[in-house]
Amino acid sequence: MGSARRILVDPDPRLRAATKAVHLPDKGLRRLIDDMVVTMRKAGGVGLAAPQIGEPLRLAVIEVKGLLTVIGNPAVVKTGFPAVDWEGCLSIPDRVAQVRRAAEIVVVADDIEGRRVRHRGTGLLARAFQHEMDHLLGRLYVDLIEPSELVDTREHPVKPG
């Protein structure tokens, strides 16, 4: 089992840094993936990208409805119609906003064994794929909205969904 790592918080410049491709399978990356899963679960998130813990790699983990997905070097193949929903980020604590993203997405990515796999996601899973893939490009969800659209959950509790 891995160890929890410190999650970087915006405006840490490492969240905006370029990332490098990963080459799976790799024992060192397996340890990193274990750390990412522990960190994500401890923080109560549904996804975590390597840059969020200071690793400039094209690697993310996502867990929706009990299904853990590891994506290395992901690429979007297809997107569906747009939908607006609440979104937050472990690197932007206590803030959420309504963000427009594709409600359905098809992604290809390397799995933990290095196989190129196709993933189809709808709803929260589609949103998580897009959110984590943005991290791998140095983008945060706040780049997709106006600053005035951010809601401070400490002052105005919001029930996403």
Positions annotated as catalytic residues are 132
What token pair was written down for 135?
């991290």
Write the CB contacts of 29 (distance below 8 Å, at least 6 apart in sequence).
Answer: 22, 23, 57, 59, 72
Q: Which residue in the block uniquely carries the two structure tokens 């490009």? A: 137
3-state DSSP percent of the chain in helix, strand and coil, to 5 = 30, 35, 35
Place of tokens 């690697």: 59
What amino acid is encoded at 41 in this protein?
R
Alpha carbon dihedral 12, 147, 100, 127, in 10-degree steps, equals 30
Alpha helices in 2-158 (DSSP H): 27-43, 123-136
Give yes or no for a cis peptide into 11 (omega within 30° of 0).
Answer: yes
